[in-house]
Structure 1
Amino acid sequence: MTPPLPDAAPAAAAPAPAALLETRALNKRFGGLHVTNGVDFRLEEGEVHCLIGPNGAGKSTFFRLLLGEYAPESGRILYRGEDVTALKPFERVRRGLSVKFQVPGIFPGLSVAHNLEIALQHHLEGASLTAEIRRLLAFLNLSDAAPERAGALSHGQKQWLEIGMAISLKPRLLLLDEPTAGMSPDETHATGEMVQALNRDGVALLAIEHDMAFVRQIAQRVTVLHVGRIFAQGTTDEIVADERVAAIYLGEAETGPADRARPRDAPARSAADA
């Protein structure tokens, strides 16, 4: 009698795909302030993720670490599975990472169309360049303003123009630092529609934002930073319903080193959000 065959060994589970962006135990200090404290963060391909938190939480410092403007004391930054911790900012941009800061970095003395041309000129020429400028102007609701000086645009239009310059390189990941600051409700909603359109085209986005209506409009996941640490993560509804998150915004939660170091009458800012 033939003995029964042994049971087949269970198949090994397939390794989880690499995140688009990941940080592991990321740390940054400014003097005695531990402004990024062991941050483990993950953003998936094609995700729209918002980063929120009270002033001094470390949001802007975290952004500058991702961009390579600051070097961490310890920890790692991985982009598409590659360790980019030691790469310079332009090397990260070449890999598909772009940014739009809170204060627009446009050329105010040049026309709106010329600003976009400068952003595109090393990648396109001739008819292709002209067609892409027209496409971006239409996407940004700036077609009628194309010949105007960029400095004459409204605040919201300047923000849109810089978004256009940031996406001109067709990034895989776009970082947005308070993209709706100073905008009217209508401009804020239009910006959210731009973000959603970019995401449908395959762009992942990570945005620092304070406007919760905008966060509700765009975010698939939300991370709350507090005194340099990840305090909470979840959907927008989960974060809004979290009483601990409400407490830190109302100043009821325990403060950390950055808060205790700030004089009582000083603005609610620290090196963490410089």
Structure 2
Amino acid sequence: MPLLETRALNKRFGGLHVTNNVDLALETGQVHCLIGPNGAGKSTLFRLILGEHPPSSGAILFAGEDITALKPFQRIRRGMSVKFQVPGIFKALSVRQNLEIAMQHHYDPASLSREIGALLDFLNLTADAGRLAGNLSHGQKQWLEIGMAVSLKPRLLLLDEPTAGMSPEETHATGEMVKRLNAEGMTVLAVEHDMAFVRQVADQVTVLHLGKVFAQGTIDAIVADERVAAIYLGQATAQEAAHDTSHAQTGGVHA
């Protein structure tokens, strides 16, 4: 039985059909990456799974239970946790205080400090425990929020573009964190653009295009699929054409 499953999931905003009969199955213990061109419907699908948007039709199951009508907090109580693209940390508090807030109601005082210490070590933030979170680098802020998301040891960790804005070195380190979490038994669903990260972590990949499941399989199968290359190449070509038009209109002057 899949840990997470969507069945013929649809979402319409007025006349716009953003998510179109999406069938997705995420097995327990997998790292599953969701990729696709801009506008493919990835973020909408993510928010349907979280319960931020109600579907127009279809169903969402978690560990065999129909959770389609549940609120986000109810899904979190059942074992989901999420890290959004933009870090939602408390910038005026220290790194340690951020983790304390996330964990204080779930551990007794005797074990809380030990658990925070272990998490700081995992996040490579031990030396920064006393720093204000707002003073961390971009990558460190992303890691801190990942730490807050995993502090409750969820069954399913949802990551929305976890490496956005990171350097290649930070991206690789994030991938190693995800692999370690997965080795410890955590199932992961990540929306991601960085194909180096996807290749590093993914057991399975789903490609969305125009709101539909376009392809599914291992990363090697996806990379070798000429249809997948075509939709990415087509997007890149369109962006280049728009850039060339803008360049010509401005006489080649860049801001």
**TM-score (norm. length: structure 1):** 0.85
Name the SS of the counterpart of 1:164 in structure 2: helix
Taking the aligned partners of 1:94 and 1:215, their CA distance within structure 2 comes to: 28
| 1:61 paired to 2:61 | no
What's the CA shift for 1:201? 0.7
* 2:136 pairs with one of 142, 148, 153: 153
Corresponding position of 1:3: none
Corresponding position of 1:140: 123
Which segments of 5 or more consecutive residues in structure 1 lack a partner in the other structure?
1-17, 256-263, 266-274
Radius of gyration: which is bigger? 1
Name the SS of the counterpart of 1:144 in structure 2: helix
What's the CA shift for 1:169? 1.1
What's the CA shift for 1:151? 0.3
Taking the aligned partners of 1:124 and 1:70, their CA distance within structure 2 comes to: 31
Corresponding position of 2:160: 177
Name the SS of the counterpart of 1:135 in structure 2: helix
What's the CA shift for 1:126? 1.5
Matches within 5 A, 1:78-227: 78-227=61-210
| 1:72 paired to 2:64 | no
Taking the aligned partners of 2:161 and 2:183, their CA distance within structure 1 comes to: 21
Matches within 5 A, 1:28-39: 28-39=11-22
CA deviations 1:97-145 (Å, max 9, x no partner) are: 0110000000000000000000001111322010011010000000000
Corresponding position of 1:50: 33
Matches within 5 A, 1:4-23: 18-23=1-6
What's the CA shift for 1:188? 0.6
Name the SS of the counterpart of 2:60 in structure 1: strand
User: What letter corresponds to residue 223 of structure 1 in structure 2?
Assistant: T
Identical-pair percentage: 74
What's the CA shift for 1:69? 0.3
CA deviations 1:159-199 (Å, max 9, x no partner) are: 00000000111100001000001111111111011000000
Taking the aligned partners of 1:42 and 1:203, their CA distance within structure 2 comes to: 16
What's the CA shift for 1:32? 1.4
Taking the aligned partners of 2:138 and 2:87, their CA distance within structure 1 comes to: 9
Name the SS of the counterpart of 1:71 in structure 2: coil
Corresponding position of 1:241: 224
Taking the aligned partners of 1:30 and 1:168, their CA distance within structure 2 comes to: 35
Taking the aligned partners of 1:157 and 1:166, their CA distance within structure 2 comes to: 14
| Aligned Cα root-mean-square deviation (Å) | 1.5
What's the CA shift for 1:77? 0.1
Name the SS of the counterpart of 2:32 in structure 1: strand
User: What letter corresponds to residue 161 of structure 1 in structure 2?
Assistant: L
Name the SS of the counterpart of 2:234 in structure 1: coil
Which segments of 5 or more consecutive residues in structure 2 lack a partner in the other structure?
239-244, 247-255
Taking the aligned partners of 2:182 and 2:232, their CA distance within structure 1 comes to: 29
Name the SS of the counterpart of 2:208 in structure 1: strand
Name the SS of the counterpart of 1:34 in structure 2: strand
Aligned residues: 239
User: What letter corresponds to residue 108 of structure 1 in structure 2?
Assistant: K
